[in-house]
Amino acid sequence: MKNGQSLERSWLTYSTSVGAVFCLPCKLFSKTSSQYTTGFSDWKHIGTCLETHENSDEHKKSMLVWLTRKENKSVLDKQLQEQLRKEKEYYHNVLKRVIAVVKFLSIRGLAFRGSEEVFGSPHNGNFMGAMELLAEFDPFIREHIEQRELRPKAIISYLSKTVYEEIIEIMGQQLLKQIITQIKNDDTKYYSTVMDSTPDLSHNDQLAIVLRYCFRGKVYERCVAFIKISSHTALHLFNILQDFIETNGLLLSNCRGQSYDNAANMAGHYNGVQALLKQKITLRIMCHVLRISLT
């Protein structure tokens, strides 16, 4: 909406194959062909166009037929809606338990995978082992795990490594957003950076970025990124740091401290990351002061 609020339109559906939205009631019951029955994709004006269509007589007639049929419990659509609701509730309960295990292992820094991904094996890793332990006292997840072995592999069980890796990624994104929000707080505003690079087990160099800041009277040091690097030059490392800071909506000019090891590419007084960051911040402050004086 124009005021920034979100409005849920249950009658609106999106087709990924066509790349357009459809008005479901009009698609099913309207006798008049329109862009909402053939596919609407004018994204620039979608807000005003949907509002106009929503208030049209043709849409209201189609909505009345649709809602009337949905309320009739004997129709197939109502039965499918009830089946969908139960299935959503079922998998919601599965995900609650999976997320609880993911949080438990992540907070303690424990490995998730084992050498094989099979329930009942002593080598299936901490995630599957924790789910098996939970299943001993939780009949719901025990039945779900038992049914998993009987279902075809095409059916999603939410117990595979693909799912919990995606959950970890989503949780990491949300945590980063919370950290950035804390730094952007008017009482915080300023922060320091800590950087170092090291090769991992696969011999790929990764740059670790840590942000240090004070929030509500307490000092925090948060590791916010591991970024794969292809060069150890000061300019390359500085560009990565600058891109990360600006991509996440922080101001480079609010960086009030830097911490590196004694390597020349990091702490060099003339050509290191330290020197490049100081130059960039000084230049931005001078431009800001000049802009104020001109106005």
The pLDDT tens digits for 246-258 are 899 888 888 888 8
Lowest average pLDDT, out of 52-66, 68-82, 151-165, goes to 68-82
| Lowest-confidence pick of 4-18, 25-39, 45-59, 266-280 | 266-280
Q: What is the pLDDT of residue 27?
A: 86
Contacts within 8 Å (CB) and 24+ apart, 245-254: 245/193, 248/176, 248/180, 249/180, 249/184, 250/180, 250/183, 250/184, 250/191, 252/277, 252/280, 252/281, 252/284, 253/281, 253/284, 253/285, 253/288, 254/189, 254/190, 254/191
- Amino acid identity for residue 110 in this structure: L
Classify residue 40 by its DSSP letter: B
Mean pLDDT of the chain: 82
As beta bridge partners, residue 31 has none
**pLDDT (tens digit per residue) in 280-294:** 766 554 444 434 444
139 or 272, which is more confident: 139
Please tell me the least confidently modeled range out of 100-109, 155-164, 239-248, 253-262: 253-262
In percent, the amount of the chain with pLDDT more than 70 equals 85
pLDDT in tens, 126-140: 999 999 999 999 999
Q: What is the pLDDT of residue 128?
A: 92
What residues contact 249, with CB distance under 8 A and at least 6 apart? 180, 184
Query: Tell me, what's the pLDDT at 289?
Result: 40
Reference 146, options 125, 120, 166, 121; nearest CA is 120
User: pLDDT band at residue 73, thresholds of 50, 70 and 90?
Assistant: low
Spans of all domains in the chain: 12-71, 76-159, 188-280
60-69, 170-179, 262-271: lowest mean pLDDT where?
262-271
Cα 163 to Cα 168: distance, rounded to the nearest angstrom: 9
pTM: predicted TM-score of the whole model, two decimal places: 0.64
pLDDT higher than threshold 60 for residue 233? yes
Give the pLDDT band (50/70/90) at residue 265: low
The pLDDT of residue 290 is 37
The tokens for 294 are 């001109």
| Residue type at 54 in one-letter notation | E
Which DSSP string do the residues of 181-215 spell out, in sequence order? HHHHSTTT--EEEEEEEEE-TTS-EEEEEEEEEEE
Confidence of residue 171 (pLDDT cuts 50, 70, 90): very high
Integer Cα distance of 147 and 110 in angstroms: 27
